[in-house]
Amino acid sequence: MAEPTPRLAPTAPSSQLLAAGQNDYRIDLLGLGRDALIAEMARLSLPRFRADQLWHWIYHRGVTDFNAMTTLAKPLRMALAETHQISRLAVSRRQESDDGTIKWLFRLADGNEIETVFIPEDDRGTLCISSQVGCTLNCHFCHTGTQRLVRNLTAGEIVGQLMAVFDDLSDWPSGRDDRYVTSIVMMGMGEPLYNYDNVRTALKIIMDEAGIALSRRRITLSTTGILPQMQACGDELAVNLAVSLHAVTDELRDILVPINRKYPIADVLQACREYPRATNARRITFEYVMLKDVNDSPADAEALVKLIAGIPAKVNLIPFNPWPGSVYETSSDAAIEAFARVVMRAGYASPVRKPRGRDILAACGQLKSASERLRRSQRQDQAETA
């Protein structure tokens, strides 16, 4: 029997409706998980294999034009193009550092902006993805923490960052050996476990073997330690976990990472001990920002290794990346080396993260703030000349 050509009215979730533009009421397929896409096809009286075909075009080939989907019959392509779309985030600004780091400021359909950063290294390329517009957690050393939380990103906006970067770097189709982006970290703006449902949908799309097919071993989710979602994250996604520790006493962590008042160090570390699939092959990463004379003494290092004893772990030491108005300074190289030596002697890898992209407002959230300042001053100029 011939497949009916669908005549449609949009009934997808409202968050999907306006993704590409506020006045575009076509249903956005970007960010629909597999089951949601199958359900959408069923709503159009289309068989399941149409969802498989679309999935391949959208997530394996990176195609946004239904007309280019040559495995679909022409009438179906035309019908879908009238009622559906596959959106892309708009690039608001793009900066490339001398060291190869690239930072994108993406403009969302509602005008909000988010940052995504690509960090190339000799043997891999890592994309740092945002999960929220702004952040509620106000970590004291973090520039994004100075921006108020506007909203959670949709699943489409999360996976859309990766896809827009694939477009920019010509990194389609998925599955090639010579890819630029080989791993992702959910470590950009926002606390991903405060937007867990959408992050889960987006990461399942990213891991799906018929599409982008990025292995869970190449995905790291970074959290301040939101206990209620940590276990679910391990059970449902089994991605690598990074925990923003940054201090060895609750007294200091209450200041640096204020959510510590709700989820203190001992409880977060206990959740790390119980994190599914934490093994020596898949260690938990503890992020530790090095702040001069605040948390960087050898005694702090000794306390740190005692705290994490028994957890398959490594410790990422992050030289603080100063931003205008921050009250902290970067630890000296000597202090960082001495700290790393103590951690290494205890048997933990303790790589020092190389400062990257310092010439391009690389501190998380800085580009968004600069863009907002620019728009404010343009509005002021316009008002003054009006």
Query: For binding to ligand SF4 (CB under 6 A), which residues are involved?
Result: 135, 137-139, 142, 144-145, 189-191, 224, 244
Nearer to ligand SF4, 102 or 187 (CB): 187
Closer residue to ligand SF4, CB minimum distance, 166 or 323: 323
- Tokens linked to 98: 């001398």
Residue 108 Cβ vs ligand SF4, minimum distance, rounded to whole Å:
17
Pick from 134, 129, 174: which is nearest to 152 by CA? 134
Shortest Cβ 262–ligand SF4 spacing (Å): 13
| Smallest distance, ligand SF4 to C-beta of residue 244, A | 6
Single out the catalytic residue among 115, 157, 191, 287: 115
Which one, of 130, 212, 221, lies nearest residue 179 by Cα? Answer: 212
Query: Smaller CB distance to ligand SF4: residue 87 or 223?
Result: 223
E strands within the chain? 27-28, 84-85, 90-96, 102-107, 113-120, 125-128, 132-133, 151-152, 183-186, 219-223, 240-244, 284-290, 313-319
Cα separation, 259 vs 383, whole angstroms: 41
Q: Give the chain's length.
A: 386
Work out whether strand 284-290 and strand 240-244 pair parallel, antiparallel, or are unpaired: parallel
Cβ closer to ligand SF4: 30 or 184?
Answer: 184
Report the nearest approach of ligand SF4 to the CB of residue 240 (Å). 17
Q: Minimum Å distance from CB 263 to ligand SF4?
A: 12
Task: Kindly compute the dihedral angle of the four CA atoms of residues 332, 337, 338, 339, in this order, to the nearest 10 degrees.
Answer: 90
Contact 188, 158 (CB under 8 A): no
251 an active-site residue?
no
Contact 188, 211 (CB under 8 A): no
* DSSP secondary structure of 316-361: EEEE----TT----BPPHHHHHHHHHHHHHTT---PBPPP--GGGT
Comparison of 223 and 331: residue with beta carbon closer to ligand SF4: 223
CB 316 within 8 A of CB 288: yes
Least Å distance between CB 134 and ligand SF4?
8
Q: Which two tokens stand for residue 208?
A: 């799906």
CA distance 151 to 190: 10
Distances (CA, A) of 20 to 111, 145, 229: 11, 27, 30
Q: How far is the CB of 130 from ligand SF4 (least distance, A)?
A: 8
Does the annotation mark 115 as catalytic? Answer: yes
CB closer to ligand SF4 out of 145 and 319: 145
Q: Which of 37, 367 has the CB closer to ligand SF4?
A: 367
| Catalytic position from the list 135, 142, 233, 364 | 364
Catalytic residue list:
115, 364
